[in-house]
Chains A and B, each alone.
Chain A
């Protein structure tokens, strides 16, 4: 493939124009140098120095500055030297919030004190910005934009863009800010690449879908994966067809559409098997195993997790090894085998820690917290949920923030602090509602229903259990269905509606038995027996 230029500008001409500006301008003048490639921005400083002399170019980096930095003092200091003809400011994008949610105070100060800026730096000032940051700057600093005296755009080949796409941090230890930046860059590149280079566009779209999915923007992510599927089908690229199907399947699963998720995982598995692509085979199997576990088919789930674990071990793919172990641990926990579950969670945690994979670290910690909770060690459980919550918050992973909050709420409830529990369930419910994540909506509502029931508010409790029951039925989530039925049975019993209570508890017990969840089954049976016992003497 011959890479085509994404931007057609002649970079040499842009650098010459910039140099001329630095030579002609008397006093403060503001120029913007913009590029998709950070390397070209760095090269701009070198080019200016080569043309004007080493000492003629002062370079101020704001990358390591926080919001409290005195930008004016920094710039004044840089501009002070007699020989300095131009001040080049790099890393200004570090002062912007890539998510566009919190305009930076520091940048705003730079913006709205343009008179002060001119006072501090009576020389040409050049802001070196990534293209996404220019877009943000126009919004965050309209006045700075309006007073610009020159714009210099540095183009890059599709090949160089492709390398940039591959390097952008999306998974792993990338925190929310880094992911936000990657998202901004990728969104811009995808627009630029449209109709220019299908393969690089496809790679950028896949990465964009992934980062948007991780940041909880499922709708956008699904659009990206759909587009990848279209392009990959047109290009006859089955590997990326499978990749997009995996992304779409994961989103369907998060949105509670198990049927669509299963269909897509199946298609991805077929393609991966035909291609002899073990990595995507393992990914598909993991997704299908998760679905089986969700639908209560623990045997099938365990079988798929086992297959995925074997493939991952053969490939030496520690990420999927950890993911498989997590799945197997969860099955063991559901089946009441806390010891085996703990052992698997521990192994997964070790692998994730060695790998620097905070996502699976958080998942393992939550699993270990659940086991600690079952064992009655609430302190340890809370500490682990807290660590998982911190990781999810740093990563900007709202789905797992909600999961951790649910765990913490449960601990608070068990410790009798229903106020704190309600507050956490509420936060989890808000996140889940924003994400369109019905599983965690159901889990949060279930917790809130329990609190209402314990506080004697039968009406509110029944209303919430009912909502959970409806969601669980839609999702085909039998475990949650049984939990909501049990709750409704208990409310009916308190209201003296014994027949209704018996029906609901019996249905719940049946489901628990079918799922093989012994503890919950026994507890529900005990409730049923309690209905038949005479009330204690007054």
Chain B
């Protein structure tokens, strides 16, 4: 009996797996890649005399959040005396990512850390500098009509309140930022000199050796107004100011743009999560990648007490979906979910039905692309490389951002390809 409602939830492309979800497939080492979780954890564990502030990137829907949550769990659950206190900031919850600013980001990081420490029962003692900062912030807020928030000087959670205010009150954001800007150094000093040393001591008593903040979803920052540069390059001083380890997610179209060398100069090597290399030239890697991608789907199907043969008429059907996903998990889920909702909830799903779903999705997927973008997508597919021309490169980065173009690496090889769904659209049949 196929449990369609369960399958529909388990293949929701918008929901990341929890860190302990048994449906997780640890695929990277199996295709010869260095596991990004190990790289991320090592970037923290091996930086003992300073603090690691790193950027991590990957295609949207490629599994970054899932990997970051597992890094959080891995570092938190190390043996006593080796474990890290990990604070996880969903930037989307706290910041207006369309108008993100380094000042807001630092406030959000500090606010999240203080909130998580308090939730864990770790006392956060205020020194004179933090009290001074909060007092100044309170005065600033008093001077702004309709600020709608009151800060208590004795409560370190005031920083979180301040951060929330910046998000909720877009009309007063600029003014508040300008006013706070001059006092940020006081905040860093307060956190670094007064708050963190005491917190570290108290965490040490609980077996923690350090603090890490993971800032997820910064890859959703809007590219308009040169905001990527504003946050990650111009704001690097602020992003690296805190005396604790911080991992920031970064938009893939920026991380792999011309800014890459400068960013790596500032933050160290950008850690990237590639897609599962189902388009690898090496047949062994390719075969392994297809098997692993299929395993991701099978684990979800099985978690609904359903078998592959109950859901699909024959195994080649799921194989085809796996291949068409290009190793991009969200695309795979979208295809399966679309196949379910168009099936009339009658199992098994036939090959004919799947073909109709694939053609329909391919046509809809192609539709938003205009002629120059179509030409670039085709170029990437034919050459497995970025275009050289500057103008075409702009289209390329947009296609990468919107998952029309995928990035892969395996071993020393790095390549790009189009989303295989485009290969089923009229773009493949009649190129521009």
- Contact at B367–A112, with CB atoms within 8 Å? no
Is B338 among interface residues, defined by CB-CB distance under 8 A? yes
Cβ–Cβ contact A153 & B342, under 8 A: no
Which listed residue, B9, B90, B342, touches A17 by the CB 8 Å rule?
Answer: B342
Residues of B333-392 contacting chain A, CB below 8 A:
334, 337-338, 340-342, 344-345, 360-361, 363-365, 367-368, 370
B60 within 8 A of A: yes
Q: A470 within 8 Å of B by Cβ? A: no
Cα distance, A131 to B220, chains bound together (Å) = 24
Query: Per-residue 0/1 for A19-56: is the Cβ within 8 Å of any B Cβ (1 yes, 0 no)?
Result: 01100111011100010000000000000000000000
Asked if residues A150 and B338 are in contact (CB atoms below 8 Å), the reply is yes
| Cβ-based interface call for A109 (8 A) | yes
How far apart are the CA atoms of A163 and B360 in the complex, in Å? 25
A24/B338 in contact, CB under 8 A: no
Q: Are A24 and B364 in contact (CB under 8 A)?
A: no
Q: Which of B5, B8, B98, B341 contacts A112 (CB 8 A)?
A: B98
Q: A20-B342, A103-B224, A112-B98 are in contact. Are A138 and B402 (CB under 8 A)?
A: yes
Instruction: List the B residue with the shortest CB-CB distance to A68.
Output: B171
- Give the tally of cross-chain contacts (CB within 8 A): 107
In contact, B9 and A145 (Cβ under 8 angstroms) = no
Q: Is the CB of B93 within 8 A of A149?
A: no
Tell whether A113 is near chain B: CB-to-CB under 8 Å. yes
A111 to B363, CA, bound (A): 24
Please report the C-alpha to C-alpha distance between residue A347 and residue B180 in the assembled complex, in whole angstroms. Answer: 62
Contact (A28, B398) CB under 8 Å given A13-B342, A21-B341, A146-B330: no
B4 and A24 within 8 A (CB): yes
Residue of B nearest to A134 (CB): B368
Instruction: State whether B98 touches A108 (Cβ < 8 A).
Output: yes
- Say yes or no: B402 contacts A150, CB within 8 Å: no
In this assembly, does A116 line the interface, its C-beta being within 8 Å of a C-beta of chain B?
yes
A23 to B348, CA, bound (A): 20
The verdict on B291 contacting chain A, using a C-beta distance below 8 Å, is no
Of chain A, the residue at the smallest CB distance from B253 is A142
B234 CB–A CB distance under 8 Å: no
- A116 to B367: give the CA distance in the assembly, Å: 28
- Would A139 and B398 count as touching, CB distance under 8 A? yes
Cβ B341 vs Cβ A146 within 8 A = no
Contact of A131 among B4, B338, B361, B367 (CB under 8 A): B367
Within 8 A of B (CB), among A441-497: none
Which of B96, B220, B341: most chain A Cβ within 10 A?
Answer: B341
Whether the pair B14, A30 counts as a contact (CB closer than 8 A) is yes
**Which chain B residue has the least Cβ–Cβ distance from A22?**
B341
B12 within 8 A of A: yes
Q: Are A34 and B338 touching (Cβ within 8 A)?
A: no
A374 interfacial contact with B, CB 8 Å: no
Across the interface, do A151 and B60 meet the contact criterion of CB distance under 8 Å?
Answer: no
CB distance from A152 to the nearest CB of B (A): 8
- Given the known interface contacts A143-B220, A153-B364, the answer about A116 and B93 at a Cβ–Cβ threshold of 8 Å is yes
Which B residues between 126 and 185 are near A, CB-CB below 8 angstroms? none
Q: What string of 1s and 0s marks CB contacts (under 8 Å) between A101-130 and chain B?
A: 001010011011111101000000000000
- Measured in the bound complex, the distance between the Cα atoms of B222 and A34 in whole Å is 24
Q: Which residue of A lies closest to B92 (CB)?
A: A115
- Asked whether any CB of chain A lies closer than 8 Å to the CB of B198, the reply is no
CA distance A143 to B64 in the complex (A): 14
- B401 at interface, CB cutoff 8 A: yes
User: For residue A99, which residues in chain B have a CB less than 8 angstroms away from its CB?
Assistant: none
Closest to A13 in B: B342
C-alpha gap A137/B368 in the complex (Å): 9
Within the complex, the shortest CB–CB distance from B166 to chain A, in Å, comes to 14
Does B14 lie within 8 Å of A29, measured CB to CB? yes
Number of interface residues of A (CB under 8 A): 42
Q: In the assembly, what is the distance between CA of A149 and CA of B98, in Å?
A: 22
Does any Cβ of A come within 8 Å of B36's Cβ? no
Q: Does A147 contact B (CB under 8 A)?
A: yes
Contact of B364 among A30, A108, A151 (CB under 8 A): A151
CB pair B90 A112 closer than 8 Å:
no
Tell whether B61 is near chain A: CB-to-CB under 8 Å. Answer: yes
Q: How far is the CA of A113 from the CA of B90 in the complex (A)?
A: 11
Residue B423 CB within 8 A of the other chain: no
Tell whether B97 is near chain A: CB-to-CB under 8 Å: yes
Cβ contact within 8 Å between B13 and A113: no
Residues of B within 8 A of A139 (CB): 398
- A143-B220, A146-B330 known; A115+B345 contact, CB < 8 A: no
Chain A 138-166, CB-CB to B under 8 Å as 1, else 0, gives 11001101111111010000000000000
Quote the shortest CB–CB distance from B375 to chain A (angstroms).
14
Judged by a CB distance under 8 angstroms, whether A9 is at the interface is yes
Q: Is the CB of A108 within 8 A of B337?
A: no
Q: Which residues of A contact B345 (CB under 8 A)?
A: 20
User: Cβ of B90: which chain A residues have Cβ within 8 Å of it?
Assistant: 115
Tell whether A134 pairs with B367 under 8 Å between CB atoms, given A21-B341, A146-B60: yes
Contact B342 A145 (CB under 8 A): no
A135 partner, pick from B12, B13, B14, B368, beta carbons under 8 A? B368
Do the beta carbons of A153 and B363 come within 8 Å of each other?
yes
The CA of A148 and the CA of B334, in the complex, are separated in Å by 8
Q: Is B76 an interface residue (CB 8 A)?
A: no
A260 CB to closest chain B CB (Å) equals 28
Name which residue of chain A comes closest to B93, CB basis.
Answer: A115
Q: Closest CB of chain A to B399's CB: distance in Å? A: 10
Please tell me which one of the listed residues B4, B93, B98, B361 contacts residue A151 in the complex, with CB atoms under 8 A apart: B361
- The answer to whether B370 and A135 touch across the interface, beta carbons within 8 angstroms, is yes
Is B43 an interface residue when CB atoms closer than 8 A count as contact? no
Nearest Cβ distance between residue A21 and chain B, in whole angstroms?
Answer: 5
For residue B12, which residues in chain A have a CB less than 8 angstroms away from its CB? 25, 29, 149
Decide yes or no whether A513 CB sits under 8 A from chain B.
Answer: no
Residues of A within 8 A of B330 (CB): 146
**Chain B positions 76 through 108: 1 when the CB is less than 8 Å from some CB of chain A, otherwise 0:** 000000000000001011001110000000000
Partner of B341, one of A28, A115, A150: A150
Does A16 sit within 8 A of B, measured CB to CB? yes
Chain A 170-190 per-residue mask, 1 if CB under 8 angstroms from chain B, else 0: 000000000000000000000
B203 to chain A, nearest CB (A): 28
Report Cα–Cα, A24/B12, bound state, in Å: 11
Report whether B367 and A149 are in contact in the complex, using a CB–CB cutoff of 8 Å: no
Contact yes or no, B341 A17, CB < 8 A:
yes
Contacts of B368 in A (CB 8 A): 134-135, 137-138
Known: A29-B14, A103-B224, A114-B220. 7 other contacts (CB 8 A): A108-B98, A111-B98, A115-B217, A138-B368, A147-B61, A148-B334, A151-B364
Interface pairs (9), CB distance under 8 Å? A9-B360, A9-B363, A112-B220, A112-B221, A114-B92, A114-B220, A135-B368, A135-B370, A151-B364
Closest 8 CB pairs of A and B: A108-B98, A24-B8, A112-B97, A146-B60, A115-B92, A20-B341, A135-B368, A138-B368
Q: A interface vs B, CB < 8 Å?
A: 7, 9, 13, 16-18, 20-21, 24-26, 28-30, 34, 103, 105, 108-109, 111-116, 118, 131, 134-135, 137-139, 142-143, 145-151, 153
